[in-house]
Amino acid sequence: MKALVFGAGGLVGQEAVRAFVADGWLVAGPPHGAADIADAGSVRAAFDAAGGIPDAVVNCAAASNVDACERDEAAAWRANALGPRILAAECVRRGVPSFVHVSTDYVFDRADETPEEPIGAADGAEFVAPANAYGRTKLAGELAVVAEFRRAAPGVRHSLVRTSRLFGAGRDTIADVVVRMRAADPGAALRFHSGEAEAATSARWLARAIVALASGATSGERGGVEHVVCATAPDERSKTAYVRTVLKIAAELGVIPPEAAGNVAEVGDDGTAMRGERAFRPRGSVLLPTAAFSNPPDWKDEMRDCLAGKFRVGVASSRTHCSDGGGAMA
């Protein structure tokens, strides 16, 4: 089986390539410099170089920096909306059996009275309401994929995989940044906006889901929307609670001294206030896992392995990788 992974140099892309290889697939993962998903000629060349019709195509490429998307929505649109449309069209044209497109919880802004209530995949029409340029362009990407696949032959599937607050081995995320800060200076000031409730997710768990979807093991006959997140208790979902728990795990691992795990301040009332060039964040965008991924690992176990791998300390587990992303520090 052959997979063609776009965005293979990113956090999710690297993990997806590893997961496909571990599952016995042949993988082509052209880096951004070799394949621009927003350039139809470049995409065609990448397909041709990978043998024409792979068994699965995965889109992990994106403009993923939320604040950078806010500053340059046109650039974000190119990567997050135009690119997915071009990839989907090429998959449909060639009859690629399975296309997996990675998307985000930021297509939602749970700006109602229950921001911490998990959102099911079927709630899309009711709740979809992106709060910033990143979310708008990612939603446009989802809609473009669906539109292109309306023309697909029977047996040609597409999966839209929404996930949130990623962490993993491929690059540093907010989790690694705060641990490095406190390792260097146990008293370093940390302040986060309140709210921003999300489920934390390891790129490793997401990658396993991507391989399962590419293999056709899940999803409907023609594909559909999947929510893939790790188990995250209600009191662990706010940005501040997430950072506090990450630091606690780092202290337990001996990566930072015990006294470096405290003093994470919370500012603001709902985490959505625009401050300078910082994009609005959803108050809550907790995804309810879809049926095929309803038994996920606990994010804290995944984080423990992730930090142990990155900071090279022993951990009593066979797990290996991890990284987060998304939110910026206040």
Ligand X SMILES: NC(=O)c1ccc[n+]([C@@H]2O[C@H](COP(=O)([O-])OP(=O)(O)OC[C@H]3O[C@@H](n4cnc5c(N)ncnc54)[C@H](OP(=O)(O)O)[C@@H]3O)[C@@H](O)[C@H]2O)c1
Name the residues that contact ligand X, by CB under 6 A.
6-7, 9-13, 32, 35-38, 60-64, 79, 83, 102-104, 138, 163-166, 171, 324-326
Distance CA 316, CA 218 (A): 32
What tokens does 143 get? 């809609």
- Minimal distance, residue 277 CB to ligand X, in Å: 18
What tokens does 23 get? 């599952």
- Minimal distance, residue 324 CB to ligand X, in Å: 6
Q: Work out the angle at residue 215's Cα, subtended by the Cα atoms of residues 213 and 216, and round it to the nearest 5 degrees.
A: 65
Distance CA 330, CA 319 (A): 32
Residue 128 · residue 146 · CB < 8 Å: no
- Minimal distance, residue 306 CB to ligand X, in Å: 13
DSSP 3-state of 29: coil
- Minimal distance, residue 83 CB to ligand X, in Å: 5
Distance CA 100, CA 204 (A): 16
Distance CA 102, CA 119 (A): 17
| Residue 10, CA distances (Å) to 49, 56, 62 in order | 20, 18, 9
CA torsion, ordered 95, 120, 285, 71, to nearest 10 deg: 30
- Minimal distance, residue 133 CB to ligand X, in Å: 12
Choose, from 134, 149, 205, 299, the residue flagged as catalytic.
Answer: 134
Q: Which is nearer to ligand X, 64 or 132 (CB)?
A: 64
Q: How many CB atoms lie within 10 A of CB 146?
A: 16
| Residue 132, CA distances (Å) to 70, 96, 105 in order | 7, 32, 12
Distance CA 157, CA 148 (A): 11
Q: Which is nearer to ligand X, 13 or 130 (CB)?
A: 13
Q: Which is nearer to ligand X, 12 or 225 (CB)?
A: 12
Task: Tell me which residue has its CB nearest to ligand X.
Answer: 10
Q: How many CB atoms lie within 10 A of CB 76?
A: 27
- Minimal distance, residue 186 CB to ligand X, in Å: 26
Q: Which is nearer to ligand X, 105 or 305 (CB)?
A: 105
Q: Which is nearer to ligand X, 228 or 264 (CB)?
A: 228
Q: Which is nearer to ligand X, 82 or 251 (CB)?
A: 82
For this structure, is 134 an active site residue?
yes
Q: What amino acid positions are annotated as catalytic residues?
A: 134
